[in-house]
Structure 1
Amino acid sequence: MNLKKYLNKKLNFFHKFWAIAQLYWFSKEKWGAIFSIFLLLALLQLTTQINVVANTQQGNFVSALADKDTQRFWTSIGIFIGLRISLAVVRVWYTYVRFKPILAWRLWLTNHFIEKYLNKRSFYEINTLKKEIDNPDQRIAEDIQGFTEVSVSIFLDLFNTCLQVVAFSGVLWSISPTLMIFLIIYAGAGTLISIGFFGKRLVNINVEQQKKEGDFRFGLVRLRENAESVAFYRGEAQEINLLQSLFKRVFNNFQNWIMWQQVYFGAFMRAYDIIPPILPALVLAPNVLAGELEVGKITEAAGAFMALNGALYVLVRRFESLTGLGAGIERLFEFYSCLEQPETGIQHRVRQYKTFDTIVNTVEDNCLAIQNLTLYTPNYQRVLFEDISFTLKPGQGLLIKGTSGCGKSSLLRAIAGLWHSGKGTIIRPKLEEILFLPQRPYMVLGNLRNQLIYPQLTVDITDDEIYHILQQVNLPNLVERFGGLDVEKDWSDVLSLGEQQRIAFARLMITKPKYVILDEATSALDIENEGNLYQYLVDTHTTFISVGHRPTLSKYHQMSLDLTNSL
């Protein structure tokens, strides 16, 4: 039974590995990497042949010294030096070509995961509702790098192992079959002990280390993003405790890794490495002393023995890389399964909370309406509001009001298709026709022009038209202030929240959507600027829904909805 479990576990590991690997190696862009792999295999073949001949010549010049054969010595030395120079050139080319398939694979796989992560707003599901998928940024940035680099390296090592075994086995067997048998037993036992005893524990430690490192880095990023709020609260003491606690987990797990990887496994490796250098001399010494073998045969046998030992023991010598690969495969496969699963996270949550067997029905049409909508929190633990209905005619505005926590922003999330937990019907146009303006606008990485045309990639608009729109949102000097539309800044840092909200309205004027949904999108503006922006929506006959608290907003909306008493 234990053997069956072990085999199932290994098969499961290879299944997870292949699920990730086949994405690229079955794609149309694989051929350049395949050519590089074949070139690498040819270079390894050439390297092995050079090593075999060089090993023989090394034995020859040692025997020539023992026999005091001058001509044989210098001939062997000349050939040996020429082979070593050729080997150096081949290895340089091998090192250069080796990174080609790794980089091509990583580039394609990273782009693939980024597209899947952002497709159908999976990033929102994962970061908001699927907390078990921790640190997706780390999985994309680091785990893919380790997966591609170590996988290619191990494949080449295994191929090189086969070449070394084929090339040097004949050499060693011709000198001493007994030595060959010793080698197989010794290397096999070392591999089984290393993988069987140390393997499982080190993989688990590496998985935990990557998770804890990611949590610590996330804590630091979170502090940076909320630096002002923490400073206002004077929350430094609590942040120190939190970050120190996160790093303590990293530290403790790393100490555990040091003990198992460097101390226990390191001690085993050092003990294991004691015997191989002297074993050929011990086995062959009687034959040499009896005059049955030249003294150079010990050198030749030792070279072949060490080459074979290194080849047969390659998995153990790459054990740290293998444990890191195992941890990376686990995390990548979990991430991949989340992105590729046939049923959505919505369906999974409905099945998880069986008491509630319905989700919000969304219908695409050329209008905006809600019919008998009851909305729950995503985990179905609380009802936000019940049986809400309204119909918004083209060009009208709806103002949603209510106390904090009554579900105002949640209703907007449901309209946007982010929340589905509930029952009833939402009728809305395609999401491409709706522009959502949150309270804190997202400032994209890039130049000022990128900020203004977001979320579009390109817009047919002149610079003069952009300047005019900036004047309309009361930012007439913004371009001059930063030195042009193509200047890159950390815009969330250099612009106030009020300026960011006006940038969001500039995006609206550039995009010209038919429908707009505003979640307190003018909360940082004064009444005059807020009025100017809402008047633009009225003048352009835009259909819009607003969440807001100021009584001055009422005059820009034909309808209002109070969610305070909706339960």
Structure 2
Amino acid sequence: MQTLRNFWRLARPFWASEQKYPALLLLLGTVLMTLCLVGVNILTNFWNLHFYNALQDKDYAGFLLGGVQFIALQVGTAAFTVAAFHFQQKLTLRWRRWATRNMLGQWLGSQRYQRLKLTETDVDNPDQRIAEDIDLFIVKSLKLSLGLLTSVVSLFSFLHILWQASSLVSVPFAGQSLVIPGLLVWIALVYALLGTGLAFWLGRALPRLNFMQQRREADFRFSLMRLRENADSVAHYRGEAMENARFNQRLEAALENFWALVKKQKLIMGYSTFYLRSATVIPMFIMAPQFFAGAFPLGRLTQISAAFGEVHAAIAYLVEVFPELSAWKSVIDRLIGFQERLDKVDVKSGVSLSQQSDGLHIKDLDIWLPNGRTLLEGFNLSLEPGDSLLISAPSGYGKSTLIRALTGLWPHARGSARYDRARTLTLSQKPYLPLGSLRDALWYPLPPHRDHDLELRLAMQQVGLQHLGEQLDEEQDWAQTLSVGEQQRCAFVRALMVRPSVLFLDESSSALDHANETRCYQLLKQTLPEAILISVGHNASLERFHRHVLELQGEARWLHRKVVQPV
């Protein structure tokens, strides 16, 4: 029941969204085509009666008529199957588009992707959950639910035929022939329930194994992706042997779980194959005495056998789809776990951030680590337009954490900060260059403005990237193509084009030589004279570009001083 509740929690938003009416029409079309297929199966069952009776009676005209009817039934089956597939795939497409966009919106909204990384470290491979698990959830949900609908309709459709046929079966009892009402129905029910119970018992470990398989496969793919992203660093370290060992370790973990899964699936497959196929001969053996006694013709026996198979298959539906059912449950468990973490993550900043068109004012700022160690306490600062602040400290003293707290990305903080949040930009030590053209990367996070290409090329020339001017429209993985120094200069171009009123620079010139660093900071001071610059850096040479210096000294202590003659 918990799985069904989790399923509805994941599915309900789509069926309550603006897409519900088109989706309901597609679902109705799928259901109608599925019911038509059940109707064809019922007609096929009666076709068995007349066709095999014609064979037994050597009725050639009846045989030919049966052949024509068989072709018509197959045409109907093909048409309804294709139509059901069409409606189902259209519904899958619409549902997946909405569900993926919805989860992407939640993941990106309020910067949950970053907060999950900081606070929910046990969330593994969110990319797989969004890209793959949503698709599996929708496909398997529709397939299993429509299969269940077919089974229920088939059960009640063929139950009447099987119940009537039970009157033809007599059981010897106390020297008399006893007719048990619905005997074949009760036999099919008992056989199906026993078989289903045993299947669930044999496959009780499958959901857990499927869950682990998806996780380990995703971990293996992620490790391969990490090597591609950090190819230069690994090559410099000559870490191929270590990487290969880690790849093999994750591969073996996935294959070990896969083999455990295969062993369980073999057991279920062998059992279900025997169980489902054996059901087709049970009614024949039960009714054989009356058939050979001439109580009814061959067509009747064939019809009853087929009806018994349909009823049994409908009741035993869960046995047939048990491997898929376990995989469906594991997908639901993964998605609901991800959804719960998205719902639970605290999107509120510990620091009260408010909009102010000019200046930056920090009041009573406290910052601490998740383990409770205090980094900063009771910090106050006011900066006016054009002011600049350098945050200096040894590694691990909280320089970057202070930037995160001021931008609302660090939850372990309190206090208040007022500045122009609508026009703020942060340049990090490792700039993010999105996939796409170089122009897209330089304008990020704004859309590119082609009518400002002259300004863009000038800015590129000013920071020493003129050699890339003819590649603005080229689409490459620029994070892999450019050196770290070139990437950092791209980030400075980005700042010159976006023109923020508050610019945070988190060691954003660490890979630049002294000349390039000086050139980039001078450009910022000349081009953005009213912007507030807050830099994090280790180089003492940066002091001359800032009016204020904040030295973090550890144990919540700091020293704030002014630079005598800043540039």
TM-score (norm 2): 0.90
Higher mean displacement: 61-70 or 455-464: 455-464
Residues 1:408 and 2:399 are matched in the alignment? yes
Report if aligned partners of 1:385, 1:406 keep a CA contact under 8 Å in 2.
no
Matched, 1:279 2:282: yes
In structure 2, the partner of 1:34 is 24
SS at match of 2:458: helix
Question: Match of 1:246?
Answer: 250
Match in the other structure for 2:523: 536
Contact 2:393/2:552, CA 8 A, preserved across alignment? yes
Give how far 1:398 is off: 0.7
**Corresponding residue of 2:536:** 547
Query: Quick one: which of 189, 194, 206 aligns to 2:199?
Result: 194
Report how far residue 257 of structure 1 moved: 1.0
Q: Quick check: 1:521 aligned with 2:512?
A: no
The equivalent residue for 2:99 is: 109
Cα 1:372/1:45, change in 2 over 3 Å: closer
Q: Does the 8 Å contact 1:516/1:544 carry over to 2?
A: yes
- Which AA in structure 2 matches 1:564? Q
Shift of 1:500: 1.1
Structure 1, unpaired ranges of 5+: 1-9, 348-358
Inter-CA distance 131–193: structure 2 relative to 1 (3 Å threshold): same
Q: Give, in angstroms, the shift of residue 302 of structure 1.
A: 1.9
Is contact 2:392–2:549 with CA below 8 Å preserved after alignment? yes
Match of 1:306 in 2: 309
Give the letter aligned to residue 249 of structure 1.
Answer: A
- The equivalences for 1:410-425 within 5 A come to 410-423=401-414, 425=415
CA distance in 1, matches of 2:354, 2:25: 50
- Over the matched positions of the two proteins, sequence identity in percent amounts to 34
Q: Kindly indicate whether the alpha-carbon contact (under 8 Å) linking 2:351 and 2:417 is maintained by their aligned counterparts in 1.
A: no
1:203 aligns with 2:194: no
Number of the residue aligned with 2:362: 370
Taking a change above 3 Å as real, the CA distance of residues 174 and 76 of structure 1, as seen in their structure-2 partners, is farther
Matched letter for residue 191 of structure 2: Y
Q: Measured at CA, do residues 345 and 215 of structure 1 come closer, stay the same or move farther in structure 2, by a change above 3 Å?
A: farther
Deviation at 1:310, TM superposition (A): 2.1
**Contact 1:43–1:90, Cα closer than 8 Å, also in 2:** yes
Q: Which letter does structure 2 place at the counterpart of 1:471?
A: Q
For 1:218 and 1:297, the matched residues in 2 are separated by: 60
Question: In structure 2, which of residues 89, 101, 114 is the aligned counterpart of residue 99 of structure 1?
Answer: 89
Corresponding residue SS for 1:273: helix
CA contact (8 A) 2:193 2:315 kept: yes
Question: Secondary structure, in 3 states, of the residue corresponding to 2:473?
Answer: coil
Residue segments in structure 2 that go unaligned for 5+ positions in a row: 167-181, 558-567
Structure 1 pair 422–144 and aligned structure 2 pair: CA distance change class (3 A): same
**Match runs of 1:50-65 below 5 Å:** 50-65=40-55
Aligned residues: 538
- Which of 321, 343, 346 is equivalent to 1:344? 346
1:399 aligned residue: 390
Does residue 502 (structure 1) correspond to residue 505 (structure 2)? The answer is: no
1:327 and 1:207 map into 2 onto residues whose CA distance is 5
CA distance, structure 2, for counterparts of residue 17 and residue 273 of structure 1:
28
Structure 2 distance, partners of 1:506, 1:138, is 34
What is the distance in 1 between the residues matched to 2:154 and 2:188?
14
Contact between 1:401 and 1:564, CA under 8 Å: does it hold in 2?
A: no
RMSD between aligned alpha carbons? 2.0
Q: Taking structure 1 as the reference length, what is the TM-score of the superposition?
A: 0.90
Contact 1:398–1:558 (Cα < 8 Å) also in 2:
yes
* TM superposition shift of 1:45: 1.6
The question of 1:183 aligning with 2:172 is answered: no
Contact 1:58/1:80 (8 A) holds in 2: no
C-alpha deviation, 1:412, in angstroms: 1.0
2:216 is aligned to 212
SS of the residue corresponding to residue 381 of structure 2 reads strand
1:486 to 461, 465, 473: 473
In structure 2, the residue matched to 1:150 is 140
Q: Aligned partners of 1:88 and 1:161: how far apart in 2? A: 19
